Amino acid sequence: MKVVRLHAPNDLRLHDEPVPVPGPSETLLHVRAVGICGTDLRWFGEDRVGDARLNKPLILGHEFSGVIADGPRQGERVAVDPAIPCHVCEDCRQGNPNLCLNLRFAGHGTQDGALCEVIAWPTDCLHPIPASLSDTDGVMLEPLGVALHAVDLGRLQVGMTAGVFGCGPIGLLILQLARLAGARRLIVTDKLRHRLDAAQSLGATEVILAGSGTEVQEVMTATNGRGVDVAFEVAGENEAVETAIAAVKPGGRVILIGVPADDRTSFSASIARRKGLTIKLVRRMKFTYPRAIQLVQSGQVEVRSLVTHRFPLEQAPQAFAAALKREGLKCILEV
């Protein structure tokens, strides 16, 4: 089978490898589609994410869908949860598998991901998708799951004002979920005009072009000097973190979703302290796939317009190059 492995920064190579043999609790899948995420780009450009380093050629890809290859469920289309918790540690037993310290994650560290034709994956991580959802819709359920977890942590209430700082795919999904949660105003920022256009089409009430240094002032003007109730930082840049903290109201909540390139997040402690802010960091997701499937199937969350680029598996280097340039929104590799 064909696989794409990362050997070093900017060095993706196509290989021919044996089809994997599934273990007793695994199912063999024909991979159909794989999304390129911001953390994939960190691996591709820097050969590391946080404290995890590339120590062997790695198959990237954690947003994926596939078709069950054999057994009683052969032919069933599924979306795949890329996280494999241990199920026995205290965090898992307390209902927080996303915090499992023994967790393995597709395309991260030593765990190969989905940029391949066939993959063996734990059966309990496979979620059937209805016929109305495409293979790429199935891919988008993973970032939607992260967005759902972030909005859960934000505890939005009807009538609140939400700020989304960074309008990549996850930011745009958070925007839609905040609207569904009843947010009265949805204020977004980004440095790229086409992302702001996408945000506006998906329900943003105010869009602000970032980078001028006037973002906080513009948010304050839009909220009559009060600030947003909940701020979601989705850019992975300290500039966006500082803006989110400055633009949220006293007593508000700041939800940090972005993954910083240098593994450091900093902000003015005095501002956060004087406002008495609650700051939460998002660790992937937990128990979100059934909700994500229902939201997309019902049309309450729109994911298809977020997929702007498609490439065959053999063109993985070109796909990653396009994603690095931020030319569109989501790049998908079709297998």
Residues facing residue 304 across a β-bridge: none
- Domain identity same for 152 and 116: no
pTM of the model: 0.97
Could you tell me the CATH number of the domain that includes residue 72? 3.90.180.10
Residues 263 and 159 in one domain: yes
- 189 and 104 co-located in one domain: no
pLDDT beneath 50, residues of the chain: none
Nearest Cα neighbor of 73 from 19, 33, 28 is 28
Task: Answer yes or no: is 133 within a domain.
Answer: no
Residues 89 and 201 occupy one common structural domain: no
DSSP state of 184: S
Q: Which domain holds residue 10?
A: 2-128+303-334
The tally of domains found in the chain comes to 2
> Tell me, what's the pLDDT at 50?
87
CATH value at residue 202: 3.40.50.720
- DSSP at 123: G
Residue 250 in domain:
yes
Residues 81 and 124 in one domain: yes
Summarised one tens digit per residue, pLDDT across range 79-112 is 999 999 999 999 999 999 999 999 999 999 999 9
Alpha-carbon dihedral angle through residues 95, 96, 97, 102, given to the nearest 10 degrees: -120
Q: How far apart are CA 205 and CA 196, in angstroms?
A: 11
Residue 286 counted as domain residue: no
Determine the Cα angle at 241 with ends 239 and 245, to 5°: 120
